[in-house]
Each structure stands twice: as structure tokens, then as C-alpha cells.
Amino acid sequence: MIFPCIDLMDGKVVQLIQGREKALEADSPEEMLERFAAFPEIQVIDLDAAMGRGSNDEVVRMLASAAAIRAGGGVRTPERAQALVEQGARNVIVGTAAFTKTGINEPLLAEMRDTIGRDRLLVAVDSKEGRIVVKGWQEATSLTAEAVLRSLEPYCSGFLCTYVDKEGMMQGTDLDWFRRLRAATSLELTAAGGVTTLEDVRALLAMNVHAAVGMAVYTGRIRLEDLAALLPNG
């Protein structure tokens, strides 16, 4: 599966570098929906909610009403997860709240799983310099992605794993890291961060890893027609 990404900030579609610097503003959310119409599902991240400075709930609701989406950003409570499901999200992505400084936030994950169902819950496992990072990738934990995936399996149906070191930099990604993650879990795995070329996407799909593609699409490095051709019915 290939997931085009819509990242929202102040009601607009944006792309950030390393989760900090805004690299570009894209067409409106409605226009991006049209551009991504060939893809079965879209990944939507509310950056304002993730950074704790508001939300783009109305835009998320509009997107969810018009397309199949997986939604994340600021999912810190079961109530927030449930709200996204009620807005129409097919899957909900939880990141920062899934972890403590030293381990997994098992009570919260269990509550989220019991609220929306394990099949709807995805855990974002974002790594920078070998460690899982949280709070908009600004704070490092003592954990590694490879070490925690198995322990997270009882709570979710899959993982969104971002290689933050290359996020938005158009320099390629670390395929070896994703290969190690693929060996660490039997659940669905989606790769993000530095997915720059069609060759990157093909390599991920060949190892049974989904690809979430953002900057490469928005800058034209990867043409949507070529990406769509890699879909099972492409």
C-alpha cells in the first residue's frame, strides 16, 4: 500500500523539514484530495494538534467524509481517538502518548484499544539518531524502535515508523532500518521519512512494508501517475 500524506497546519496543507521548518504550502485540502483520488487511503496528520496549539478538526472531518483516511496528531486520550473515529477516520495514529521516558504507556494504550478497537489503532514509532523521539520529535526517549515493536503488538494493528533523520530532506531513507523493523514484527508496517524515489518505494513494497510519501510528491520528485502505477491495481 502507498499512502500519500496530507499534513495540516493552520488549515493549510504543508510539508515540514525535520518536523520544524516549513518547506512549502501546497494546494488546498480539497485540491489535494482530488490529486490523490487514485489512492485507496490517505494519511492525514494534524500538526497543530500534535504541537498542542489548536486543531484542524473541521478539515479532518471534511477529508474523512470524502476519502478513506488514517488520522493522527495530538492523539493523547481515548476521547481524542474516539473523536477521530467519529469524524470518519478508518485508523487512528497515536505517537507521543504511547511512550513514557523509559517504556511503553501500557495503561493508556490498553484504554485506547478498548475504546476504538485494536484493529483501528496504529502506533507511530519515530526514530532519530537511533532512539524513539516524541513531542514533535523534540524529545528523545531511551528506547529503540526494534526493541519495542513486539511489546506494542497487543495494543494495535500496525505501526507508522518514521526515520526522522531524513524526514523532508529528499536524501533517501534507511532501507536497512526498515528491514530490521520488518523482521521485528508481523504486524502491518508503514515507512515514512526520506522516501524520495520510486526505487525507495519499490524496495519498501518488496519487503512488505507500506510507504507514506510526502515531500517527494509535493516537490514533483515522484510523479503521482508513476506512484499510482505501483498500486496493486495500477
Q: Which domains does the chain have, with CATH numbers?
A: 2-228 (3.20.20.70)
State how far the Cα of 59 lies from the Cα of 105, in Å rounded to an integer: 29
Check 126, 165, 174, 200 and give the catalytic one. 126
The cell numbers describing 137, all together, are: 520529535
pLDDT at 176: 94
Among the options 7, 46, 165, 176, which is catalytic?
7
Question: Given this model, what pLDDT does residue 168 score?
Answer: 58
pLDDT for the residue 10: 94
- Note the pLDDT of residue 107: 97
Check if 57 is active-site: no
Question: What is the residue whose three cell numbers read 515507512?
Answer: 191
pLDDT in tens, the chain (234 residues): 999 999 999 999 999 876 677 888 888 999 999 999 999 999 999 999 888 889 999 999 999 999 999 999 989 999 999 999 998 999 999 998 999 878 999 999 999 999 999 999 999 999 988 888 887 777 888 899 999 999 999 999 999 999 987 665 567 799 999 999 999 999 999 999 989 999 999 999 999 999 999 999 999 999 999 999 999 876
pLDDT score, position 98: 95
pLDDT of residue 138: 74
pLDDT of 169 reads 59
Q: Which three cell numbers stand for residue 113?
A: 484499544
**What's the pTM?**
0.93
What pLDDT is attached to residue 133? Answer: 85
Rg (CA), the chain: 16
Assess whether 174 carries a catalytic annotation: no
pLDDT value of residue 129 = 86
